[in-house]
Amino acid sequence: MKHIKLFESFLNEAVKITAKIKAPYNTKEEKKAASNFKTVIEGETITVDMVEGHMNEDAIDLTIQFSNEDLIFLERFDGEDRCTIVVGDEEPYDVWGGIGGYAADTIVEELCLTYEGYRKGELN
C-alpha cells in the first residue's frame, strides 16, 4: 500500500507551474494546491497537469490543464472575473459571477473546486 501512495505523490509533484505569481499571492501555496488536487469523476482520477499565466495584485490570467486535458481559465481585471471551463469537445461553459465561491485558501484551489463542481453537476 505504501508503494501506491508514493507513486501517487510522485504523479502529483509533476505539476508544471509556469505561472508568474507575485504578491499578494504565494507561489508555494498555489503550487501546493495544484499538486494536492485530485478528484474522481465517472471513475476517472483527475489531477492537475499544468498551471500557466500570471497572478498579481492588479490582474489574474490563469489556465489550468487537468490530466484528462480539460481546461479552466480565469481572467480577473478591474475586479471583474471571467471564468470558463472547457470539457472535451463540449461547448465552453462560462461560470457567471466568476469562480464558484468555495472556501478555498488559494486561487488555484478555488479554480480546481469550481471545475470539480461543474463536472459533478453542482454549478448551474
* Domains contained in the chain, number: 1
Q: Can you tell me the mean pLDDT for 15-35?
A: 88
Residue 124 lies in a domain: no
Residue 19 within a domain: yes
70-104 pLDDT tens trace: 999 999 888 788 899 999 999 999 987 667 667 78
Full domain range(s) for residue 9: 2-119
Identify whether 17 is part of a domain.
yes
**Is residue 32 included in any domain, yes or no?**
yes
Strands of the chain, DSSP E: 16-17, 20-21, 38-41, 44-55, 59-66, 71-77, 80-86, 93-95
CA 84 → CA 2, 5, 16, 17, 88, distances in Å? Answer: 37, 32, 21, 20, 13
106 found inside a domain: yes
Q: Is residue 99 part of a domain?
A: yes
pTM of the model: 0.84
Q: How far is Cα 6 from Cα 61, in angstroms, rounded to an integer?
A: 33
In the predicted model, what is the mean pLDDT of the chain? 84
The one-letter amino acid at 64 = I
Residue 53 lies in a domain: yes
